[in-house]
Structure 1
Amino acid sequence: MTQRVELATVRDRMAVDGLITDYAVAVDDGDWTAYRGLFTPDGRADYRSAGGIEGDAGTIASWLAESMRLFPMRQHLIVNRRVRFGTWEQDTGDTADVQADYVSPMGTAGSGSGPDLVCGGRYAFAALRTDDGWRLREVVVREKWRRLPERAAAPVIN
């Protein structure tokens, strides 16, 4: 591999990594316009394993805007990103598949003592290089676990 090819691969990897980070920030900040802008025109997302829906990016953004109102405190932590570049219309490196683990604590209004819900799992992202940069073609959430915080037992009155 030449230095030019290696540099291009590093640049693409950083751009795809930035796209995944932008996804997490858009969801955590409730920036649904930015969320929609991360997708290709035919981009889709599937949140069914987490109790959600599947559909185009606009439909999903509207659903997230409504369902995330319950949790004004959100903090996606997306880690262990495995990026694999592929071929699109015979151009190597114009697609990327990313598997990434996530932990997502979320809190309801007035839950100053910590999150009310913590869940985790793995994302499968499919990205495409476009004239506007890398965009998401598909996001699939594979929730593996969910935990509600333990509540202290009510005091016993003698």
Structure 2
Amino acid sequence: MTQRVELATVRDRLAVDELITDYAVAVDDGDWAAYRSLFAPDGRADYRSAGGIEGDAGQVAAWLAESMRFFSMRQHLIVNRRVHFGVLDQDAGDTARVQADYINPMRFAENGDGSSAPDFVCGGRYTFGLLRTYDGWRLREVVVQEKWRRLPDRIPPAVVD
């Protein structure tokens, strides 16, 4: 490999890493406009293994907005990122696949006991499919494979609108 190719690969890896981090921050902060902006126009997400839905970025963002309102604290930790670049239309490096593990502690909005400990923790693996666009790297596919979850000993009262 030439130095130019190696530098381009490093830049792409950093951009992909930033996109995955932006994804976690958007979900944790409840910034659904930012969440949608991370996806390519045909981007989709599949949260069915975690009890969610599968759909385009707008549909999933709406479902997440409704589901996540029950949690006052969310903190995705996405680790062990494995990045593999692919080929699209004979152009090396226009696609990427990322597998990454996650752990996600959350606290119910109506905790009531003053505790700062999470009430709900889950973990698993993400598979991200990425596409290089004119606007930079974007998500084309997000698949959540929840492997475990720990529920609270007590269930908080239902949140009333």
Q: TM-score range by the shorter chain?
A: over 0.9
Q: CA RMSD in A?
A: 0.9
- Looking at structure 2, the residues matched to 60 and 126 of structure 1 have their Cα atoms a distance apart, in angstroms, of 16
Q: Structure 2, unaligned stretches of length 5 or more?
A: 155-161
What is the Cα deviation at residue 110 of structure 1?
4.3
- Looking at structure 2, the residues matched to 149 and 62 of structure 1 have their Cα atoms a distance apart, in angstroms, of 26
- Looking at structure 1, the residues matched to 35 and 88 of structure 2 have their Cα atoms a distance apart, in angstroms, of 24
What is the Cα deviation at residue 97 of structure 1?
0.1
Q: What TM-score results when the alignment is normalised by the length of structure 2? A: 0.91
In the alignment, what sits opposite 1:103?
A: 103
- Looking at structure 2, the residues matched to 56 and 33 of structure 1 have their Cα atoms a distance apart, in angstroms, of 14
- Looking at structure 1, the residues matched to 12 and 109 of structure 2 have their Cα atoms a distance apart, in angstroms, of 39
In the alignment, what sits opposite 1:154?
A: none
What is the Cα deviation at residue 50 of structure 1?
0.1
Matched residue SS, 2:58: helix
Q: What TM-score results when the alignment is normalised by the length of structure 1? A: 0.93
What is the Cα deviation at residue 8 of structure 1?
0.2
What is the Cα deviation at residue 93 of structure 1?
0.5
1:17-54 deviation line (CA, Å, top 9, x unaligned) = 00000000000000000000000000000000000000
Percent identity between the aligned chains? 80
- Looking at structure 2, the residues matched to 3 and 124 of structure 1 have their Cα atoms a distance apart, in angstroms, of 30
In the alignment, what sits opposite 2:10?
A: 10
- Looking at structure 2, the residues matched to 110 and 146 of structure 1 have their Cα atoms a distance apart, in angstroms, of 20
Whether the 8 Å CA contact 2:28–2:75 is kept in 1: the answer is yes
What is the Cα deviation at residue 149 of structure 1?
3.6
1:108-131 deviation line (CA, Å, top 9, x unaligned) = 124342111000000000000000
What is the Cα deviation at residue 144 of structure 1?
0.1
Matched residue SS, 1:72: strand
In the alignment, what sits opposite 1:140?
A: 143
In the alignment, what sits opposite 1:155?
A: none
1:55-77 deviation line (CA, Å, top 9, x unaligned) = 00000000000000011210000
Whether the 8 Å CA contact 2:105–2:121 is kept in 1: the answer is yes
Aligned residues: 151
What is the Cα deviation at residue 88 of structure 1?
1.0
Whether the 8 Å CA contact 2:69–2:109 is kept in 1: the answer is no
Matches within 5 A, 1:1-158: 1-111=1-111, 112-113=114-115, 114-150=117-153
Q: Structure 1, unaligned stretches of length 5 or more?
A: 152-158
* Residue identity in the other structure for 1:147: R
Q: Which runs of 4+ in 1 moved over 2 A?
A: none
